[in-house]
């Protein structure tokens, strides 16, 4: 394994791990590997991608799917203002045949029913109003009807829902073990057409008392809902496995009302709709004149309400308003950064290793492994879809890029068309976002940084004379004979100490520099790192081998951006984390053995409480860029490019 281990473990690793000729790909930290892309509307890479996406969309418009379906599609960025980076609106050619009383031409203000995308609004409202303070509290603390059911219903674990063990967080992340619905959807006595006899489909006759008296129509009120709910067996044990539940979000709305003392609809209006100025978002049905309705209002159920289950799937919105919601999440406009990042994390895995479940996110893990160097590069998209009657919606947010995608369809065969659009978005736009972020990072940060006479980082400390370290316990110089091509421990120590006569750190001739290069690998590569004449890459090798033989190490240093960013008066400062890896280690992927466990390595070495792997990059309004390697307590300024200097855009950077 090539990830960084504690020194005590490295003694064993150095002695026992054989060297391998197989190259090992870099294992980046999970999250963005470059700073987030900017100005995607005008960026040349993105313009080319949007042109390719346009060609795909034109093909769909001309096909049978385009004749039968209308849709609104937008790609938006956190740094967009009021308009999205890319928009595409299509009106089905067969829309006039329906004599629809809705819009006759689709645009960003056309209103769709959004189905289960409503759950995103509900969860957002909950977090704005109450945060996640109550996440691990049992739902029975807030919903009195469930207290009564928990106390009075008889049965065992197979027949009685364990309501006291179901928490707010379990409901939000579909881990409560509940059924999907009560009698609104899925109850066959409510949903099978009247002309079909269920007994002829193999079901036994039901006594009248077992048939719900409410559901699809008439709808159940709150008391009737709980009366039906208490009859249900648990689907799973709480926290056993994720199972989608509309019931959960109905109950969550009751809990939030109990916590705040306000109605759910009032909180939704106050916290989101009014605060963000959403003019085309509605909890209940608006007039049909602003909606895209591929049929009559009756045949499409435009005005049909889910009643008490409204928080799970009843809302209406336009693509421009959903894009506005997405930007508010990515920009931390309402929720804080830590709260948002907690929210945008998986709560459960799925059987599909590329999928996860959140609250209420469906999370898609996109492997960007188009080359060996990208083997471990994964981009997570946080998604929420919805489908109701003739409408389909899908929202994707990608924190790695601060970019989102909204798709809204009205018509026929919408599920298949939705997947075509999503796959095209994933195949065309997402790789272009990665390429844009990479290109901009190279322009912004690649180059050589050096200390000048006016660096302002003088120190009274001087380099001390070094004494070569003795080999660690259990490691002898003779052991180096197992790989005679390597230099010996004595040579390694001598090389490290060759700079013991370096100039003091307060000298105007401080010899410190850092060279950063861009290549096909994740993150920015460090190709040279000098501290007052000392080769810090050799120093890192010494640390990684517990001061034994650094020549065993094929060192790679990659810099990755963190979410620690400060902006003020045109100056932007961002913290990067360096990952130290030995690419000479074997590439191992077995049941437990792995070549990728970078997360255990950060901040392994500190000097005077400052991390050796922490770098602060500062970009000033005049274009000057500096870097502060924190442990070395020096500021290095990026040199102006020179035609007679070797390009920093290397093709083979470690």
Q: What is the pLDDT of residue 214?
A: 84
Residues 279 and 142 occupy one common structural domain: yes
- Residue 511's φ and ψ, nearest 5 degrees, are -100, 80
- Say if 623 falls within a structural domain: yes
Residues 390 and 456 occupy one common structural domain: no
Residues 406 and 507 occupy one common structural domain: no
Q: What is the pLDDT of residue 194?
A: 67
Instruction: Report the pLDDT averaged over residues 459-475.
Output: 43
Instruction: Report the pLDDT averaged over residues 364-373.
Output: 89
Between 353 and 214, where is the model more confident?
Answer: 353
- Say if 355 falls within a structural domain: yes
Residues 380 and 498 occupy one common structural domain: no
Q: What is the pLDDT of residues 179-222, one digit of tens each?
A: 998 877 778 887 777 667 888 889 898 888 888 888 888 889 99
Confidence band of 508 (pLDDT split at 50, 70, 90) = low
Q: What is the pLDDT of residue 642?
A: 66
Cβ atoms of 227 and 245 within 8 Å: the answer is no
Least confident of 32-46, 244-258, 360-374: 360-374
Residues 601 and 531 occupy one common structural domain: yes
Cβ atoms of 112 and 391 within 8 Å: the answer is yes
Residues 20 and 164 occupy one common structural domain: no
Q: What is the pLDDT of residue 549?
A: 79
- Say how far apart CA 558 and CA 521 lie, in whole Å: 9
Which of 424, 440, 456 is the C-terminal boundary of a domain?
440
Cβ atoms of 80 and 327 within 8 Å: the answer is yes
Q: What is the pLDDT of residues 526-543, one digit of tens each?
A: 999 999 999 999 999 999
Residues 414 and 548 occupy one common structural domain: no
The string of DSSP letters for 323-377 reads: HHHHHHHHTTSSS-HHHHHHHSS-SEE-SSTTEEE-SS-EEEEEE--SSGGGTT-
Between 61 and 1, where is the model more confident?
Answer: 61
Q: What is the pLDDT of residue 242?
A: 97
Which of 440, 465, 480 is the C-terminal boundary of a domain?
440
Inform me whether the pLDDT recorded for 473 exceeds 80. Answer: no
Strand partners, 395: 384, 406
Q: What is the pLDDT of residues 337-349, one digit of tens each?
A: 999 999 999 999 9
First to last CA, the chain: 17
Residues 435 and 450 occupy one common structural domain: no
Least confident of 212-216, 419-423, 442-446, 497-501: 497-501
256-265 long-range contacts, CB within 8 A, separation 24+? 256/125, 256/126, 256/129, 256/130, 258/142, 258/143, 259/129, 259/130, 259/134, 259/142, 260/129, 260/130, 262/129, 264/122, 264/125, 264/311, 265/310
Confidence band of 614 (pLDDT split at 50, 70, 90) = very high
Q: What is the pLDDT of residue 199?
A: 84
Residues 494 and 415 occupy one common structural domain: no
**CATH number for the domain harbouring residue 164:** 3.40.710.10
Inform me whether the pLDDT recorded for 643 exceeds 60. Answer: no
- Say how far apart CA 479 and CA 477 lie, in whole Å: 5
Instruction: Report the pLDDT averaged over residues 133-144.
Output: 97
Q: Of 457-471, 482-496, 521-535, which has the strongest mean pLDDT?
A: 521-535
Inform me whether the pLDDT recorded for 559 exceeds 80. Answer: yes
Q: What is the pLDDT of residue 80?
A: 86
DSSP letter (8 states) at residue 28: P
Instruction: Report the pLDDT averaged over residues 323-344.
Output: 97
Inform me whether the pLDDT recorded for 2 exceeds 80. Answer: no
Give the residue from 267, 283, 289 showing the smallest Cα distance to 109: 289
Q: Peptide bond preceding 511: is omega within 30 degrees of 0, i.e. cis? A: no
Give the residue from 76, 68, 21, 22 showing the smallest Cα distance to 429: 76
- Say how far apart CA 186 and CA 155 lie, in whole Å: 24
Residues 22 and 55 occupy one common structural domain: no
- Residue 530's φ and ψ, nearest 5 degrees, are -115, 130
Confidence band of 589 (pLDDT split at 50, 70, 90) = confident
Cβ atoms of 499 and 481 within 8 Å: the answer is no
Inform me whether the pLDDT recorded for 306 exceeds 80. Answer: yes
Q: What is the pLDDT of residue 505?
A: 55
Range(s) of the domain holding residue 253:
44-184+219-440
Domain count, the chain: 2
- Say if 390 falls within a structural domain: yes
- Say if 648 falls within a structural domain: no
Percent of the chain with pLDDT over 70: 86
Cβ atoms of 100 and 294 within 8 Å: the answer is yes
Helix, strand, coil % over all residues of the chain, rounded to 5: 35, 20, 45
- Say if 36 falls within a structural domain: no
Cβ atoms of 613 and 605 within 8 Å: the answer is yes
- Say how far apart CA 125 and CA 283 lie, in whole Å: 12
Instruction: Report the pLDDT averaged over residues 572-599.
Output: 92
Q: What is the pLDDT of residue 129?
A: 98
Total Cβ atoms within 10 A of residue 205: 8
Instruction: Report the pLDDT averaged over residues 29-38.
Output: 97
On average, the pLDDT of the chain sits at 87
Inform me whether the pLDDT recorded for 260 exceeds 80. Answer: yes
Q: What is the pLDDT of residue 294?
A: 95
- Say if 39 falls within a structural domain: no
Q: What is the pLDDT of residue 588?
A: 84
Residues 474 and 611 occupy one common structural domain: yes
- Say if 199 falls within a structural domain: no
- Say if 163 falls within a structural domain: yes
- Say how far apart CA 505 and CA 540 lie, in whole Å: 20
Inform me whether the pLDDT recorded for 460 exceeds 50. Answer: no
Q: What is the pLDDT of residues 62-113, one digit of tens each?
A: 998 899 999 999 999 999 878 999 999 999 999 999 888 999 999 999 999 9
Cβ atoms of 10 and 544 within 8 Å: the answer is yes
Residues 347 and 483 occupy one common structural domain: no
Inform me whether the pLDDT recorded for 649 exceeds 90. Answer: no
Q: What is the pLDDT of residues 233-250, one digit of tens each?
A: 999 999 999 999 999 999
Inform me whether the pLDDT recorded for 567 exceeds 70. Answer: yes
Confidence band of 510 (pLDDT split at 50, 70, 90) = confident
DSSP letter (8 states) at residue 499: G
Instruction: Report the pLDDT averaged over residues 608-617.
Output: 98
Q: What is the pLDDT of residues 390-404, one digit of tens each?
A: 999 999 999 999 999
């Amino acid at each position: 394994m090539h990830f960084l281990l504690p020194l005590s473990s490295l003694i064993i690793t150095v002695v026992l791990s054989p060297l391998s000729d197989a190259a090992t790909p870099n294992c980046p930290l999970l999250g963005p590997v470059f700073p987030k892309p900017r100005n995607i509307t005008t960026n040349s890479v993105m313009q080319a991608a949007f042109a390719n996406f346009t060609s795909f969309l034109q093909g769909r418009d001309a096909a049978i799917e385009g004749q039968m379906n209308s849709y609104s599609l937008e790609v938006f960025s956190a740094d967009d203002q009021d308009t999205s980076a890319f928009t595409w609106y299509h009106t089905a050619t067969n829309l006039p045949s329906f004599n629809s009383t809705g819009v006759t031409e689709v645009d960003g203000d056309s209103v769709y029913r959004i189905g289960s995308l409503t759950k995103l609004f509900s969860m957002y409202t909950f977090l704005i109003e109450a945060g996640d303070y109550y996440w691990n509290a049992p739902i029975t603390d807030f919903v009195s009807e469930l207290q009564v059911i928990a106390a009075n219903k008889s049965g065992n674990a197979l027949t009685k829902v364990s309501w006291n063990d179901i928490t707010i967080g379990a409901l939000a992340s579909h881990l409560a073990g509940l059924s999907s619905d009560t009698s609104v959807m899925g109850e066959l006595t409510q949903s099978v057409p009247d002309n079909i006899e269920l007994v002829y489909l193999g079901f036994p006759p039901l006594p009248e008392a077992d048939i719900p008296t409410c559901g699809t129509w008439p709808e159940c009120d709150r008391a009737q809902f709980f009366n039906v709910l208490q009859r249900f067996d648990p689907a799973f044990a709480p926290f056993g496995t994720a199972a989608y539940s509309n019931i959960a979000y109905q109950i969550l709305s009751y809990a939030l009302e109990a916590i705040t003392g306000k109605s759910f609809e009032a909180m939704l209006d106050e916290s989101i709709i009014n605060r963000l100025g959403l003019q085309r978002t509605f909890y209940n049905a608006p007039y049909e004149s602003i909606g895209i309705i591929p049929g009559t209002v009756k045949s499409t159920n435009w005005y049909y309400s889910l009643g008490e289950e409204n928080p799970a799937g009843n809302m209406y919105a336009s693509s421009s308003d959903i894009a506005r919601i997405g930007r508010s999440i990515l920009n931390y406009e309402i929720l804080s950064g830590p709260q948002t990042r907690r929210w945008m994390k998986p709560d459960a895995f799925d059987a599909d290793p590329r999928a996860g479940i959140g609250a209420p996110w469906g999370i898609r893990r996109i492997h960007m492994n188009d080359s060996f160097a990208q083997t471990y590069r994964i981009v997570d998209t946080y998604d929420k879809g919805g489908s109701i009657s003739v409408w389909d919606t899908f929202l994707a947010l990608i924190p790695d890029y601060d970019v989102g995608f909204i798709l809204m369809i009205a018509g026929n065969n919408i599920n298949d068309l939705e997947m075509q659009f999503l796959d095209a978005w994933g195949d065309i736009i997402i790789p272009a976002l990665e390429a844009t972020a990479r290109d901009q990072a190279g322009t912004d940060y690649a180059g050589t940084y050096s200390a000048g006479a006016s660096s302002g980082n003088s120190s009274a400390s001087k380099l001390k004379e070094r004494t070569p370290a003795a080999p660690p316990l259990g490691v002898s110089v003779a052991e180096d004979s197992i790989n005679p091509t390597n230099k010996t421990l004595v040579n390694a120590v001598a090389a490290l100490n060759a700079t013991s006569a370096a100039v003091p750190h307060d000298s105007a001739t401080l010899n410190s520099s850092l060279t950063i290069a861009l290549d096909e690998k994740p993150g920015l590569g460090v190709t040279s790192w000098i501290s007052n004449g000392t080769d810090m890459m050799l120093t890192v090798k010494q640390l990684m081998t517990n001061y034994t033989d650094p020549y065993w190490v094929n060192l790679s240093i990659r810099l990755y951006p963190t979410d620690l960013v400060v902006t003020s008066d045109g100056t932007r400062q961002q913290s990067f984390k360096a990952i130290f890896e030995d690419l000479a280690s074997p590439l191992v992927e077995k049941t437990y053995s792995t070549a990728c466990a970078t997360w255990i390595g950060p901040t392994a070495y500190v000097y005077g409480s400052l991390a050796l792997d922490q770098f602060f990059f500062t970009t000033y309004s005049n274009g000057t860029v500096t870097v502060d390697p924190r442990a070395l307590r020096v500021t290095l300024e990026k040199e102006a490019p020179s035609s007679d200097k070797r390009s920093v855009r290397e093709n083979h950077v470690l």
